[in-house]
Structure formats: C-alpha cells, structure tokens
Structure 1
Amino acid sequence: MSESIPAAHHATILEVAKEAGVSKTSVSRYFGDERERLSRQMQARIAAAAKRLGYRPNQMARGLKGGRSQLIGMLVADIRNPFSVAVMHGVEQACREKGYSLLVCNTDNDPAQERDHLNLLASYRIEGLVINAAGQPSRELRAFARQGTPLVLLDRLLSDFEADVVGLDNAQAIDMAIDHLQHQGYDDVLYLSEPVAQASSRQARLQRFQQRMANEPALNGEAHSLDLDNETQRLPDIITAFLARASHSAPAILCGNGNVTLTVAHVLQDQRIPLGSVGLLGIDELEWCSLVGPGITTLAQPTDAIGRAAVQSLLQRLEKPQRQTPPRRTHYQPRLTPRGSTCRPDTTNQCDPVSQERP
C-alpha cells in the first residue's frame, strides 16, 4: 500500500503572529500599507517569523478586501522581440524595488488576444498598466481609466486614447542613423521595417526616413516593410533588386529593429555579401551584433531607463490620484555604437569604436 503524500501546508497570518509574538493586526500592517506604524523591532520579528514559516501574503485576497493588490500589469505586443524583453526587465526591477509584483501578458500582435488579456488583468485588480499596444484597445483602456487605474503607453501611441507615453525619440534615431551613414560615405539607403500599420513607432521612423530622403539631394533611398513571420522569402529579392539599382553608388541597409537586423544579416551572409561593402545599421543593440563578422553598427535604446520611467510614471499617478495633469511624453535618445558593418573598405573613414550620441 503506497503512502499518501501530505498536502503542502501554507502558513497563515495567525501562525506568523503567534510565531512573532504579535497580534494579527500587526502582521496585517506589516504586509500592508501601514508598516511604518510598527517599531523596527516588531518589523524584524515579523519578517523573521514569516521567513521561518515560509509565509507569503495572498495578494489577490488583499486586493479584493482592501482594493490594493500591489500588482502592476504589463501587456507586450511580441514577447519574442528583444526590445520587449529588455524593457520588461527594467519594469520588473523598478516594481520590485517599490514593493510591487509584475504580471506580464503577451499578445503576439493579435488585437483579439490583447482585449482578452486586458480583461484578465482587470480581474486581478492591477494598480497600474504598462501597455505596448498591438491594436486599438481604446474601449478597454477607457474602462481602466474610469476605475482610476493609471496607464503608460510603451513605445506606441493610440490615435484615440491619451495617456502617458515612454519610449524612444524615433525621429532622432533615424537622424543619427542617416548622419552616420552619410559620414561613412554611403549615399543610397534601403530602409527595412516590419509592417508599419501595427505600431506608431514604426510609422514615425518611416516618416522621418522619407523626410530625410526628400530633403537630402545627395542621398537616394527606398523603403520596404514585410511581415517576418510570413514574408521572409521576399527579403532576398528586395535586397538583390536594391543592390542592382545601387550598383554605381555606395549602398547601405538601415533596419528598423533587431528582428529585421538579424534577418538581413542572414540574407547577406547567405549571399556572401561582405559587411562594409554594403553598409548595415540596425536600431536596437543585441549581444550578437558585436560578434558577426566585423561587428554590426547599432543604435541602442536605453531599455532599462525606459522600463523604469514607465513604472515611475505609474507611481506618480498613484500617489496623487486627485491631481489631474495632462499626459506626459518621455522620449529617450539612442546611443550609436559604430562597428565594421559601416566601414567602407574603399575609403579612409575610420570607425570610432566609442559609442556616440547626437548633440
């Protein structure tokens, strides 16, 4: 006869109180918003008792009872995107430092999933929401706003919903990229992006690229967008046609994000096109960019600062819920890291290995 496995025991608040020699109310205050009302000695006894017993407060129960869940929600459009992962790390670090826990949902750029996840997060009574929108979930976000839940839009704007926004200065990123390519002697630029209709940041980058091409007589340029999940097979033909057209100039490829940079690097490698002879510059710094051939020049986003700023914006709204201030936009400058992929072999221009910033 097999032995039954005893059910796991979850320590209760009463057991912690008994272990620490304090009242249940004191333990509730310690794990709630009134910890400072307790003496340092009492706080130390409760913390030690909770650790010995393995006690963890039930955040859901606390939220249902008192309206404070200590939970921040984060909705990302594509969790596979290195930008999303890096910003998420900054958000989580800032939440933990301030005593909040983070709930993350991924939408895979699907507006239907986005609406479902927003409804799910609402059921958890999150106290703030950071959202990297995939669609136009304005109705759901207005429901959060009516409840007094502060919101921060990450990297993407919504045309019919106003909230605090934190992200990259996209126009400046394109300016820095074009300026660097021109300085290195490239005069024909292919800009590649994922579908621009899905994100305002992509639209802003494409718009700035087109403006620069129209205003720079010494530059030629063209732009293409493609769905990397379903249209990657188009990319070799796009690059081949561009290089054929630019055969009498100095061509370069500017990639709108890290996913595009990786895909383009594979195509250039397959076609045995040496980096530098065709310039390559990518928005987003990824670890492998320094390892491919002579290294790939990048514009790095300050992802940790962006994530932390999003949380700070939420907490400022939470601390002063009655103070109605206009939505704020916080835009960060990228950092240029020149590498060999933008060093033309037929020129004397040197690639400065030190990261540069546009004044």
Structure 2
Amino acid sequence: MVTIKDVAKHAGVSVTTVSRVLNNSRHPISPETRERVLAAIKELGFYPNAMARSLQLHETKTIGLILPDIANPYYPGIVRGVEDVAHEKGYTVILCNTDRSRERTKAYLRVLREKRVDGVIFTGGGAVEDASREHFFDHGQIATVVIGRHKADLPAVQVDNVQSAQEAVEHLIKLGHRRIATITGPAVSTTARDRLEGYRRAMEAEGIAIESAWIVEGDFEFNSGYQAVGKLPLQGPEKITAIFAHNDLMAIGAIKALQEKGLKVPEDVAVVGFDNIPLASFITPALSTVAVPVYDLGVTAMRVLAELLAGRKVPPVTVLATHLEVRESSLLK
C-alpha cells in the first residue's frame, strides 16, 4: 500500500509538504512544488487515509441515513434526495435499513458512533423512538435531523399528515360517499395516528358517525391491505362504498382483494391511497392518492443537516406541501 512517505520521497519533498497539499493548507507552497506532489500522488495511485484525516480535521464527511424498509417504494425517493445533496456537499451516505427491528436499529446506532459519522438522518419506522431509548441524543454529539413528526426535540422535515388525510377523505365525501372505511398503519406509528386523525376530522365535519367496523389496522404492506378487505362490511345495507388506505401499498393490496371478490373499483368501492409511489399510476385502475414530495423530503433533510454541521441555526420544523392526485380508482368514467 502506498503511503504518504512514498509520495514525499517520489516528489522529493517532506511529508509535511505532502500533507499541506492534501489539506489545501494556507501555508505557502510554490506552484511547482504543488504540481510535483500532485503528479507523484497520481503516478503512485495514492489515496489519503480517511480515518487519519478525519481525526485531524474532526470530521469524517460521512452521514448515516436510517430507514425502516428499503423494499418499500416510498423510501428510494428520499434516499435519492439525501444522496444528491450529500454528494454535492462532499459527504458520503451510510445507508442503514432497520427492517423495523429495534435490535437492528441499536446495532446501526453503535456502528455509526464507532465510525464517527458527522450527522444522522432518521426517517420512519420508529427508529427515532428506539434511538431515544438508547440515549443516542443525550449529549448532542451527533447532528441529527428527522423526517416525519416525532416527539424528540430535533429539527424535523415533514408533511402535514392530518390535513393531507383529511383532504383525501373529503374528496370521497364530495363524490357522495358516506360509508368510508380506512385501513390504517400500525397503531404505534405517529404517521398512522395522524392520518387516522385526518380521517376522523373529515368524517366528523360532515356529521358522519364512524362505525368501529370501518377501521382496520394494517402494517403499511401489500398483504395487510389485502387482508383488511376481508374484515370490512362489503355486502348488504351496511356495506362500505369507499376505502381510504394510509399508504399506497395497502391501497393496492385492497384493490386486488376487492377485484377477487368480484367488486369493481370505483363502481362498487372507491379507493384512495397515500404517498403516490411510482406503481400507483400503473395499476388498473390507476390509484387516486395523496402525493408526497419524497425526493424533496430527502433533499431538504440533507440541506438542514448540512446547515447544522456548518454551525448555523435551522428551523425546528420544515413542512412540505402535498397534493391529491385524482385518478381512476375514485372517479367514475
């Protein structure tokens, strides 16, 4: 392995001079000497020791991104947004997929500490709560930004899940639906609780009494939406005529179950989802859904983190706008 001493010998300069060139030191170095050092670095294929450099500069130029399920098509957009800004600002991203496991979250938190990352971005899956239990935020040593609404007193980038869900359900009510069911996320999820609150507000504003049979808990996955349909009243005078699912995966699962039962969407049951994942516009019928600016969530979170790392003040909460993308699953042709 080529060392800094090898570069110094090849260029005919001291190790200190090579170090000054690598770190763009303000110490005066002649253009000829700088070119000779850079040429030696290129000829020998030398790469600086990142760990040694980080100890000297007190930064590693790395950040951790903790997310619950990389297989969920909601999250790659966030990852891309974080990555794009991180790259622009010279940071490397360490991706940590927890699979919604507290043990995996603990393991990743330990690794990020050991690697001395400069900052961490959390998104979804209860990881913030797990990190709080592990006292990850106690000493404020690692700059942190969260995507979503959390109890932790940390800078947050989020959408208004209550208002967005309310608007989705109001859309169904305006179409004449009153027996509207909802397939929720896990009860422990802040996102799910907020979207359920939006559903309740829309129904109560129209004087619609919500029946307990209309609320079925899922887990944000395809299969839970599919299974939830089997628990809803679909026949007789008590049948529901619309479903608001807390995310698109469950909405798509619900549509499949409805179709297998011989019911037409939206003629028999209208369906609205949440997130606007790429698949939403390609299924049949195309899914009406709340469009979340996932890429912008990632971009904004990384920009806020960069501001923190630069020692600048950041807003406690940044809220990005959503909009309802109306498609075939809720509108009759």
Normalising by structure 2, what TM-score?
A: 0.83
Task: Name the counterpart of 2:217.
Answer: 225
Greater mean alpha carbon deviation, residues 173-182 or residues 162-171: 173-182
Distance 1:30 1:205, change over 3 A: farther
SS at the partner of 1:280?
strand
Deviation (angstroms), 1:43: 8.3
Task: Name the counterpart of 1:202.
Answer: 192
Deviations 1:237-284 (A, max 9, x none): 124x2555554x7x1111111321232232123223222212111111
Q: Which runs of 5+ in 2 are unaligned?
A: none
Task: Name the counterpart of 2:176.
Answer: 185
Task: Name the counterpart of 2:146.
Answer: 153
Structure 2 Cα separation of the partners of residues 245 and 49 of structure 1: 83
Superposed, 1:306-321 pairs within 5 Å as: 306-320=297-311
Structure 2 Cα separation of the partners of residues 205 and 261 of structure 1: 14
Of residues 228, 238, 241, the one that matches 1:235 is: 228
Task: Name the counterpart of 2:280.
Answer: 289
Task: Name the counterpart of 2:265.
Answer: 275
**Contact preservation (8 Å) 1:190, 1:253:** yes
Size of the aligned set, in residue pairs, is: 326
Deviation (angstroms), 1:19: 7.3
**Contact preservation (8 Å) 2:265, 2:329:** yes
Structure 2 Cα separation of the partners of residues 27 and 20 of structure 1: 9
SS at the partner of 1:104?
strand
Structure 2 Cα separation of the partners of residues 40 and 171 of structure 1: 60
Amino acid at match of 1:255: A
**Contact preservation (8 Å) 2:74, 2:277:** no
Amino acid at match of 1:224: V
Alignment pair present for 1:263 and 2:253: yes
Distance 1:13 1:139, change over 3 A: farther
Alignment pair present for 1:95 and 2:86: yes
Structure 2 Cα separation of the partners of residues 284 and 307 of structure 1: 14
Distance 1:26 1:279, change over 3 A: farther
Deviation (angstroms), 1:151: 0.7
Deviation (angstroms), 1:77: 1.8
Distance 1:17 1:91, change over 3 A: farther
Greater mean alpha carbon deviation, residues 207-216 or residues 116-125: 207-216
Task: Name the counterpart of 2:102.
Answer: 111
Deviations 1:19-53 (A, max 9, x none): 78886556545655759998999988877776665
**Contact preservation (8 Å) 1:95, 1:102:** yes
Superposed, 1:117-156 pairs within 5 Å as: 117-132=108-123, 133-134=126-127, 135-140=129-134, 142-144=135-137, 146-156=139-149
Q: RMSD between aligned alpha carbons?
A: 3.4
Amino acid at match of 2:145: V
Amino acid at match of 2:322: P
Task: Name the counterpart of 2:329.
Answer: 341
Of residues 176, 182, 187, the one that matches 2:167 is: 176
Distance 1:181 1:62, change over 3 A: same
Structure 2 Cα separation of the partners of residues 244 and 48 of structure 1: 81
Deviation (angstroms), 1:162: 0.8
Structure 1 Cα separation of the partners of residues 170 and 36 of structure 2: 60
Deviations 1:54-86 (A, max 9, x none): 544433332234321000111112222222221
**Contact preservation (8 Å) 1:184, 1:344:** no
Structure 2 Cα separation of the partners of residues 175 and 226 of structure 1: 19
Amino acid at match of 1:225: E
Amino acid at match of 2:319: H
Structure 2 Cα separation of the partners of residues 252 and 42 of structure 1: 74
Deviations 1:117-156 (A, max 9, x none): 111110000101101233432144x545525321111224
Structure 1 Cα separation of the partners of residues 271 and 6 of structure 2: 62
Task: Name the counterpart of 1:68.
Answer: 59
**Contact preservation (8 Å) 1:192, 1:256:** yes
**Contact preservation (8 Å) 1:187, 1:220:** no
Distance 1:282 1:19, change over 3 A: farther
Amino acid at match of 2:255: A
Structure 1 Cα separation of the partners of residues 322 and 36 of structure 2: 47
Task: Name the counterpart of 1:330.
Answer: 318
Task: Name the counterpart of 2:75.
Answer: 84
Deviation (angstroms), 1:339: 1.0
SS at the partner of 2:182?
strand
Structure 1 Cα separation of the partners of residues 184 and 83 of structure 2: 28
